[in-house]
Amino acid sequence: MIWENVALAFSSLKSNKMRALLTMLGIIIGIMSIITILIIGDAMTEAVSGNLATLGASNIYINVRERGTNARVSSSVRMPASDDLISDRMIEDLKLSFPNDIEGVSLSHSDGNAQARDGDLYANIAINGVNADFIVANNITVLAGRFISDADVKSTNQSAVVSDKFIKNMFPVGVDPIGKQVKIYKPSSIEIYTIIGVYKFEQMNFGFSTVSDQDLSTTFYTPVSTAKQNLLEKKYTMATVIGTQSSDVAALTSRVQGYFDSIYANNTVWRAYATNMTSMLDTITETMQTISIAIAIIAGISLLVGGIGVMNIMLVSVTERTREIGTRKALGAKNYHIQFQFVTEAIIISSVGGIIGLLLGISAGAVITSVFEVPLVISALTTFGCVLFSMVIGIFFGLYPANKAAKLDPIEALRYE
Residue closest to 316 by CA, chosen among 232, 405, 385: 405
Q: What mean pLDDT is predicted for residues 42-67?
A: 77
Q: Which residue has the higher pLDDT, 113 or 10?
A: 113
Q: Which residue has the higher pLDDT, 326 or 212?
A: 326
Q: Which residue has the higher pLDDT, 410 or 129?
A: 129
Domain containing 20 equals 2-50+286-415
Q: Which residue has the higher pLDDT, 377 or 269?
A: 269
pLDDT band per the 50, 70, 90 thresholds, residue 73: very low
Q: Are 269 and 329 within one domain?
A: no
Query: Is 280 within the bounds of a domain?
Result: no
pLDDT band per the 50, 70, 90 thresholds, residue 54: low
Q: Are 111 and 128 within one domain?
A: yes
pLDDT at 152 over 70: yes
Q: Are 296 and 238 within one domain?
A: no
Q: Which of 224, 248, 274 is the last residue of a domain?
A: 274
What is the structure's pLDDT at 208?
Answer: 52
Q: Which residue has the higher pLDDT, 305 or 100?
A: 100
pLDDT at 207 over 60: no
**Are β-strands 181-185 and 108-118 bridged in parallel, bridged antiparallel, or unpaired?**
antiparallel
Query: Is 337 within the bounds of a domain?
Result: yes
Q: Are 131 and 190 within one domain?
A: yes
pLDDT at 17 over 60: yes
pLDDT at 206 over 60: no
Query: Is 372 within the bounds of a domain?
Result: yes
Q: Which of 244, 274, 304 is the last residue of a domain?
A: 274
Q: What mean pLDDT is predicted for residues 242-255?
A: 88
Count of structural domains, the chain: 2
What is the structure's pLDDT at 71?
Answer: 46
Q: What mean pLDDT is predicted for residues 12-34?
A: 84
pLDDT at 253 over 80: yes
Q: What mean pLDDT is predicted for residues 99-121?
A: 92
pLDDT at 74 over 50: no
Q: Are 37 and 74 within one domain?
A: no
Three-state SS at 159: strand
Q: Are 239 and 114 within one domain?
A: yes
What is the structure's pLDDT at 1?
Answer: 64
pLDDT at 280 over 80: no
What is the structure's pLDDT at 274?
Answer: 92
The average confidence (pLDDT) of the chain is 85
pLDDT at 409 over 90: no
Query: Is 165 within the bounds of a domain?
Result: yes
pLDDT band per the 50, 70, 90 thresholds, residue 190: very high
pLDDT at 374 over 50: yes
Q: Are 108 and 223 within one domain?
A: yes
Q: Are 92 and 164 within one domain?
A: yes
At 292, the amino acid letter reads: S
In 131-279 the beta strands, taken as DSSP E runs, fall at 142-145, 159-163, 181-185, 190-199, 218-223, 238-243, 270-276
Q: Are 83 and 219 within one domain?
A: yes
Query: Is 407 within the bounds of a domain?
Result: yes
Residues shown for the chain: 417
pLDDT at 106 over 90: yes
Three-state SS at 121: strand
What is the structure's pLDDT at 142?
Answer: 96
Q: Which residue has the higher pLDDT, 218 or 304?
A: 218
Q: Are 220 and 246 within one domain?
A: yes
| Beta carbons of 198 and 161 less than 8 angstroms apart | yes
Q: Which of 230, 248, 274 is the last residue of a domain?
A: 274
* Those residues with Cβ within 8 angstroms of residue 109's Cβ, 6 or more apart along the chain or in another chain: 128, 129, 130, 224, 227, 228, 236
Q: What mean pLDDT is predicted for residues 349-366?
A: 90
Query: Is 236 within the bounds of a domain?
Result: yes
Q: What mean pLDDT is predicted for residues 136-156?
A: 93
pLDDT (tens digit, 9 = 90+) per residue, 292-329?
A: 778 777 777 777 888 888 888 888 888 887 888 788 77
Q: Are 265 and 333 within one domain?
A: no
At 125, the amino acid letter reads: I
Q: Are 132 and 12 within one domain?
A: no
Query: Is 234 within the bounds of a domain?
Result: yes
Q: What mean pLDDT is predicted for residues 342-370?
A: 89
Alpha-carbon distances, residue 208 vs 137, 219, 366, 371 (angstroms): 25, 18, 16, 8
